[in-house]
């Protein structure tokens, strides 16, 4: 089945929405269960919060339509990871009942063609 986006150029927000939708579908397909999405703190946002078995996973999704600015995963800097870790601890403080074990994952989504499926790269247990 072909993946189809409209011909118009997507805004950064729209592209992020599509990337998260693609990542969510991929993660559900491999057995993850969704807990929450777009958890916001003053320091940053966690795109997806899902369970991989008993492990709570905080997921950063990066999406690109070209390599003009590098690969999507290259946009996950140490500052971004630090903010993500702080946001994860904030979530844990709000929801101590759901935490047994947790990790940080990054999903890179490449949407190069409106006719081909996106390329998804999944990096598990990212550390600073």
In a domain, 3, yes or no: no
**Is residue 98 one of the residues assigned to a domain?**
yes
| DSSP character at residue 91 | H
Assigned domain for 84 exists: yes
Has residue 4 been placed in a domain? no
CATH number at residue 98: 3.40.1350.10
| Residue range(s) defining the domain that contains residue 60 | 12-123
The model's pTM is: 0.87
Instruction: Let me know if residue 68 belongs to a domain.
Output: yes
Name the token pair of 36: 């929450």
pLDDT averaged per 10 residues in sequence order, the chain, 128 residues: 53 86 97 95 91 95 86 89 92 83 94 86 90
**Per-residue model confidence (pLDDT) at position 128:** 67
- Within a domain: residue 96? yes
The conformation of residue 110, written as its DSSP 8-state character, comes to E
* Number of separate domains in the chain: 1
Report the pLDDT value the prediction gives residue 2, as an integer from 0 to 100. Answer: 44
């Amino acid at each position: 089945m072909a993946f189809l986006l409209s011909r118009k150029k997507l805004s950064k927000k729209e592209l992020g929405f599509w990337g998260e939708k693609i990542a969510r579908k991929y993660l559900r397909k491999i057995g993850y269960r969704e807990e929450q999405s777009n958890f916001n703190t003053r320091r940053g946002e966690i795109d997806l919060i899902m369970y991989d078995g008993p492990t709570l996973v905080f997921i950063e999704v990066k999406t690109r339509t070209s390599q003009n600015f590098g690969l999507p995963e290259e946009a996950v800097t140490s500052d971004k990871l630090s903010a993500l870790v702080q946001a994860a601890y904030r979530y844990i403080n709000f929801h101590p009942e759901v935490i047994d074990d947790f990790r940080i994952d990054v999903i890179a989504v490449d949407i190069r063609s409106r006719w081909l499926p996106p390329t998804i790269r999944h990096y598990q247990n990212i550390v600073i």
